[in-house]
Amino acid sequence: MKAIYIMWLREVKRFIRSKSRIVGALGQPILFLVALGYGLGPVFQKAGQGNYLEFIAPGIIGMSIIFTAIFNGMQIIWDRQFGFLKETMVAPVSRTSIMFGRTLGGATVAAMQGVLVLLIAIVAGFRPVSVFGLLPAVVAMLLVAFLFSALGIAVASKLKDMQGFQLIMNFLVMPLFFLSGALFPLGDVPAALLWIARFDPLSYGVDALRAFLIGTATFPLALDAAVLVGVSAVFLWLGARFFSEIEV
């Protein structure tokens, strides 16, 4: 437990100290909220779908979480190249504890990013349907963050250069985001696209956030929770296995 706490605290402190990283991670969500929320809002409203800013706010929160969480894995490659990872690996603790602590730290950082985006969305005009949904929404953010933080570490454990990681992550992240229903309602899409979205774990994270924040959902909330927890467990297992095989 001590090793997990130390690694978690290290990741959180690293994020807090990096003010440029915080500002940079907020740039894209703000752009999406303003450009799409207000730019496409009138079109969305004329189509009889309501307030587009309120609709996409949970999706943009999910976007900020997945980008921050999944790129947490890049820190492993960075530490590996500069020798910091070797110092960690020779410590008298299990590699599984180290991996779990880093995953939990990355998830905490990504969830903090999601909360910041939620606050920015509220300033921009977004209004949650109930204040009682805010706490469960934060829990959903943590689940999404944990899932993709584990995925990022699992992928990074198999790579040795940042360029390869960035290519693979961009290949994964953009389809995961755009096919999750973050920017459009899944209830009105063709059956083939809905079928694809069902295999996207972010779809269930965004759906849970919408259920808590605006009171609408495509899938049952129990299904959202089951998928997020189940896929997180799979990625955590893969990440622990791949991380234990790292040669430093």
Q: What is the pLDDT of residues 204-214, one digit of tens each?
A: 999 999 999 99
List CB contacts of 239: < 8 A, sequence separation 6 or more: 99, 103, 150, 151, 153, 154, 157
- Best-predicted range by mean pLDDT among 44-48, 69-73, 151-155? 151-155
Mind listing the pLDDT tens digit for each residue in 137-191? 999 999 999 999 998 888 888 877 777 777 777 788 888 888 888 888 887 778 8
User: pTM for this one?
Assistant: 0.87
Query: Residue 66 in contact with residue 177, Cβ under 8 Å?
Result: yes
d(CA 178, CA 120): 21
pLDDT greater at residue 39 or residue 192: 192
Q: How many domains does the chain have?
A: 1
pLDDT band at 82; cut points 50, 70, 90: low
pLDDT of residue 197: 87
Name the residue among 99, 58, 206 with its Cα closest to residue 144: 206
Calculate helix-pair angle for 2-17, 19-39, nearest 10 degrees. Answer: 70
Radius of gyration, alpha carbons of the chain? 18
Number of H helices, E strands in the chain: 12, 0
Structural domain containing residue 56: 2-244
